[in-house]
Amino acid sequence: MITPCSGRRRSAAGGVLAWTAAALFLAAAAALAEDEDRQFQAGAATSNITPPLGATLIGGWGSPEAEHIHDELWARCLVLDNGSARLVFVIIDNLGASREVFGDARERLAEKTGIPAEHMLMASTHTHSAPSARPSNVLDPPPTLTEYQQFIADRIVDGVRRAINNLEPARIGWGAGDAPGQVFNRRWFMADGFDLTNPFGETDQVRMNPPRNHEALADPAGPTDPEIAFLAVESTDGRPMALLANYSLHYVGGVPGNHVSADYFGVFAREIGRLLAADGANPDFVGIMSNGTSGDVNNINFRAPAPQREPYEQINRVASIAAAEVYKAYQTVEFHDWVALDARMTELTLEVRKPSEAILERARRILEDPDNAPGLHAREEVYARRAVQMHESPGEVDIPVQALRVGGVGVAAIPFEVFAETGLEIKEKSPFEMAFAISFGNGGYGYLPTPQQHELGGYETWLGTSRVEIEAAPKITASILEKFDAMAGDAE
């Protein structure tokens, strides 16, 4: 006998069907909620960091006052959000802002936005036509920021918050072009008989920026990286929103000494927007060019005579070539509705280089009586001061090493002027579809030659230009690749 239940009779099959339907409904609802959480968004904005006229400019051996603003300086900000994580990119038009500037901005942003500090990548472009945003000794900075440093930090905070305000559903893709004709290794082996005396009275094996088209030119001492890698963001209806590029080329120059300018980095930002027909977009399209691994690379073809050019002519030319290459590659980009986002940042302790007793004693003699210095090099007194400063600096320094993942792209941030060899190694060994490294990432501690380049000497390896241990480059590379591997192993 079957006992009725609430006056209704249900079959076993009917119960199974009912429970199956309910389970499917709940699964569909969960999937829908997950899809909503996985919605990809992006936002971009800029903050003006142009100094007033009269500000002291750095980038050469002098310190002229700014008398003309040729083009404005910016903090260019991009925020990516995939529903579970946010990443922040900030690239500023500066020679090499200190860690303390970025740290101040990062700390306040973390408090105001809840974005973890390690998810924020901030870097300088390395224009040589801007005021300083670094202390006199990056190894022993003062406890407070200068007025201009604080101004930059404030504007970064504003720019990132505005980029967050501009967040909207978006798609993201990546690609790369090549501009090999604009990058040249600037360290050269020279023929026997060419004077390679350095400021410490020693003899180098290579010369940085040798005389152009000189009969003593032998071979460049290292490679170049011609790739222009980029991340591209567009709205769901195809409107270009932002583009972050990376090219391993130093500043271009050709700027009058008392002009403020973002160099080719700024022109590229405008030109790529023009090519993408993004002028007049609302919110504004934000083009960004970051400095790649160009510590030993510049825009000078040393085997050719120096051409006669007007101020800014070469900057415009290089930026236009770079933008055209990116625009060409942009046409084949596959955009994604959602990608994994991740970031890792650690502190790496490095030994600080110290002068030998002989170099220190020589430096002190030069500073005590500069009129009777040996006179073997034009920068003897400058490097005598630097040798003493290195002697008086702490014996170790902690530097931030950061790696980010954007879908199939790995991005490294290194707080040095990194040699092309290191950037190429990171690209070659990265587990990602594409990878690139940003120099001056989260600070600036000077040049980062490889151990092999240290053996050759030259400007970039001199004590005071290069401040940390000779094995620093491989240690940093290993740390980045370890982070890349860990992030690549995580499921999307």
Question: 150: part of which helix (H) or strand (E)?
Answer: helix 147-165
Contact 173, 337 (CB under 8 A): no
- The answer to whether residue 11 scores a pLDDT higher than 80 is no
Q: Is this prediction's pTM over 0.75?
A: yes
CA–CA dist 148, 283 (Å, integer)? 28
Structure token digits, residue 331: 């046409």
CA–CA dist 449, 185 (Å, integer)? 13
Buried b (16+ CB within 10 A) or exposed e, 92-115: bbbbbbbbbbbbbbbebbbeebeb
Q: Which residues is 54 bridged to in the sheet?
A: none
Residue ranges of the alpha helices (H) in 234-379?
Answer: 263-275, 313-330, 357-368
- The answer to whether residue 35 scores a pLDDT higher than 60 is no
- The answer to whether residue 78 scores a pLDDT higher than 90 is yes
User: Coil, strand or helix: which one is 105?
Assistant: helix
Structure token digits, residue 36: 């909503």
- Torsion, Cα 459 465 471 474, to 10 degrees, reads -80
pLDDT one-digit tens code per residue, 320-346: 999 999 999 999 999 999 999 999 999
Q: 137: exposed, middle or buried (C-beta count within 10 Å: 0-12, 13-18, 19+)?
A: middle
Residue ranges of the alpha helices (H) in 369-446?
Answer: 380-392, 420-429
- The answer to whether residue 317 scores a pLDDT higher than 60 is yes
- The answer to whether residue 229 scores a pLDDT higher than 60 is yes
Distances (CA, A) of 406 to 87, 232, 245: 9, 11, 14
Domain ranges of the chain: 41-187+215-350+393-489, 353-390
**What pLDDT shows up at residue 405?**
98
CA–CA dist 221, 355 (Å, integer)? 25
CA–CA dist 161, 167 (Å, integer)? 10
pLDDT one-digit tens code per residue, 131-152: 999 999 999 999 999 999 999 9
CA–CA dist 282, 275 (Å, integer)? 17
Structure token digits, residue 49: 């960091």
Tell me which residue has tokens 């609430």: 6
- Number of other residues whose CB lies within 10 A of the CB of residue 462: 24
CA–CA dist 435, 317 (Å, integer)? 26
Read off the pLDDT band of 418 (50, 70, 90): very high
Question: 31: part of which helix (H) or strand (E)?
Answer: helix 12-37
